[in-house]
Structure 1
Amino acid sequence: MMEIGEIVRLLAQGAESLARELLPGGRREGREWVAGDLAGSPGRGVSVCIAGPKAGIWGDFSAGLHGDALDLVAVCRFGGNKTEALKWARGWLGLGEARSGGRAPAPPPPRPRDVEGERREAEQRRQKGRGLWAAGVPIPGTPAEVYLAGRGISLEALGRAPNVLRFNARTWCTERGAAHPAMVALIQDQGFTIGAHRTFLAPDGRGKARIKAAKKVLGATDGGLIPLWRGASDKPLKDAPEGDTIAIAEGIEDALTIALHCPEWRVVACVSIGNMAKLTLPPTIMDVRLCFDRDGENPAVRTARERAIDRYMREGRSVFAMQPAEGFKDFNEEHQAALRGRRGAA
């Protein structure tokens, strides 16, 4: 019987073909295959290395999961059952029991890239994302405001609603196969819209929609950010004056929580920890606050954090890493707990 390590190695050799099969809604970006989730939806929640010495290594940063090619088969097809994944992998590689002692056949060759087709698809997703946002309405008075209030984020306390956020009552939800209410945010790279972030909501805004992936991206996220708060200067990011401090959080709710507590700072959301090191900041901003969650404490997340710190320090900026207090997964959770404590004391 062929050793598991050898099967993992063979799967890694055919990592691109494997990723295409397991995550059909994904797309190739350089040496990675990216998808929205482990169900294979479009987006950028999951990344699989498909070339080089780390081929087959993958991570789902939102869920704090990672592993090798066989682990990917297990979570995508068999609910984490590696015994069943191993059987499937042997079949996919063409390793019948009678042949398992011989030389394994080469894995299927990767499909040739359609670069122009990928470019057209990316532009279509970007346009759809922009259209979703444009078709929405400002969030005051909508279920999106109710949702944020439920997370302890008061638009009245902020003083204004971020223009980058809108509410669209009829946002297409692939998981539901129907239109669904969502809070929609523009994702921008140096002022240019590259995608849209959707938070699917309960119809009345009291929480997120009860679906597997309530947060999804349409378009790109690489190098993109959601500019939620302009801070004391109140100027666009590209025109940020010297002396501005920028806080970079992963999610929208965390970023708005930080804006509540430090309104003098400029605050952006980078969508995912893997994207935090990829933002292009104007040279006038020298003070960078990296706001890390406490969930997903695994090697891939630690590496992403280190990359972010190293990136902005190499640019000569002052970098300060922040985390919520022990026992809280993010700043918003800590903020909500503090609000409950104040209400209880009253």
Structure 2
Amino acid sequence: MDAATGEHGDLLDLIALSQGLSLRDAIRAAHVLLRLPPTPRADGSTQRDTGAPASCRRLFAASQPVRGTPAARYLAGRGIELACAEPALRFHPRCHRWDRHGRVSLPALIAAVTDGTGRLMGLHRTWLGPDGGKASVDGPRRAMGQLMGHAVRFAAAGPVMAAGEGLETTLSLRMAFPRLPAVAALSAPHLSAWIFPTVLRRLYVACDADAAGQWALAKLMQRGRDAGLKVLPLHPRLDDFNSDLMAFGLAELRDWTASQLFGPDAAALLPAD
């Protein structure tokens, strides 16, 4: 119970609230977590346990491409103009969320969290307000599903890649270097635990300028050494690369970042004229 508000519930309510699930899907997620056998039906058959990733797949399938939607307007407000469609990003006009007032439905930017094979494992939702920014609600960003080790992926994995925490940070880097495959892990702990693709040889880490960002960088550098990879930091001028994009513009962001790239990467990764 929350003594301040009187809001209360059990562990199923907590699962439903934290992952944005219906009670039915929260029960299924609890079955997976507790490794319980399938629920028997009255006719003797069993109900297939689909769990949180299946809920993510249903929500993603019900979403639509970003172009021409409030999600595109939100990204444009952060200086991000998608030169080409990013399959990992979608828009849902009435994405459910639960708060102390019950269930509400708001438009949302949806980002797919996938594993190395492209299998959808989770979602990240950013609820949007009528002014083009984030919705004025508690926790306008929430993730659901199985996130550890996975990420939102922009372009296929390759020998040279970039990884960052937030969607806007990673998309800002993609604006500057559209040829650079990149992933957004959504938090510092998830960034530190991202599973390296087998083809990866050199990883650039778009560091947020805070203690959590430095901690994630140190973890990735240690894991990179153990795996025989070269892990190199990319430092923003301000707190992150989206702040740099907003403050200094795309050309200055590109020049600042290119000066930190290894050897011939800058020329190879610059956008074609």
Q: Which among 90, 93, 96 is matched to residue 169 of structure 1?
A: 93
Alignment partner, residue 143 of structure 2: 217
- For the aligned residue pairs, the C-alpha RMSD in angstroms reads 3.1
- Alpha-carbon distance in 2 for matches of 1:136, 1:223: 24
Q: CA deviation at 1:199?
A: 0.7
Change (3 A) 1:119 1:167: farther
Paired position in structure 2 for 1:207: 133
Tell me the TM-score normalised to structure 2 length. Answer: 0.72
Alignment match, 1:183: 109
Query: Runs of 5+ in structure 2 lacking a partner?
Result: 1-8, 20-31, 40-48, 253-273
Amino acid at match of 1:272: S
Alignment correspondent of 2:34: 115
Change (3 A) 1:118 1:129: farther
Decide which of 133, 137, 149 is 2:76's aligned counterpart. 149
Identity in percent: 28
Distance 1:341 1:286 in 2: 27
Amino acid at match of 1:309: M
Instruction: State which of 7, 11, 14 in structure 2 corresponds to 1:25.
Output: 14
The answer to whether structure 1 residue 42 and structure 2 residue 18 are counterparts is yes
Structure 1 stretches of at least 4 aligned residues deviating more than 6 Å after TM superposition: 20-24
Q: Is 1:193 the equivalent of 2:120?
A: yes
- For 1:57-136, list aligned pairs within 5 A: 115-117=34-36, 123-136=50-63
Which AA in structure 1 matches 2:55?
A: K
1:339 paired to 2:258: no
Residues 176 and 250 in structure 2, CA contact (< 8 A), matched pair in contact too: no
Query: Matched residues in 2 for 1:331 and 1:41: separation?
Result: 31
* CA shift for structure 1 position 22: 10
Q: Residues 319 and 23 from structure 1, CA distance in 2 versus in 1: closer, same or farther, beyond 3 angstroms? A: farther
1:249-303 CA-partner distances (Å, limit 9, x unpaired): 10111111000111221111011110113222223220100111114x26xx544
1:304 alignment counterpart: 216
Distance 1:222 1:259, change over 3 A: same
Among residues 246, 269, 278, which one is paired with 2:184 in the alignment? 269
Q: Tell me which of 31, 43, 64 is aligned to 1:137.
A: 64
User: With structure 1 as the length reference, what TM-score do the two structures score?
Assistant: 0.58
What is the rounded CA distance, in whole Å, between the counterparts of 1:264 and 1:340 in structure 2? Answer: 15
1:291 & 1:208 partners in 2: Cα distance?
A: 23
Give the Cα separation in 1 of the matches to 2:93 and 2:38: 29
Given candidates 194, 197, 200, the residue that maps to 1:285 is 200
Aligned residue for 2:18, secondary structure, equals: coil
2: distance between equivalents of 1:279 and 1:140?
A: 29
Q: Which amino acid aligns with 2:34?
A: V
Q: Judge conservation of contact 2:207–2:214 (CA < 8 Å) in 1.
A: no
Tell me by how many angstroms 1:162 deviates: 0.3
**Hey, what does 1:226 align to over in structure 2?**
152
Partner residue of 2:170 out of 236, 255, 260: 255
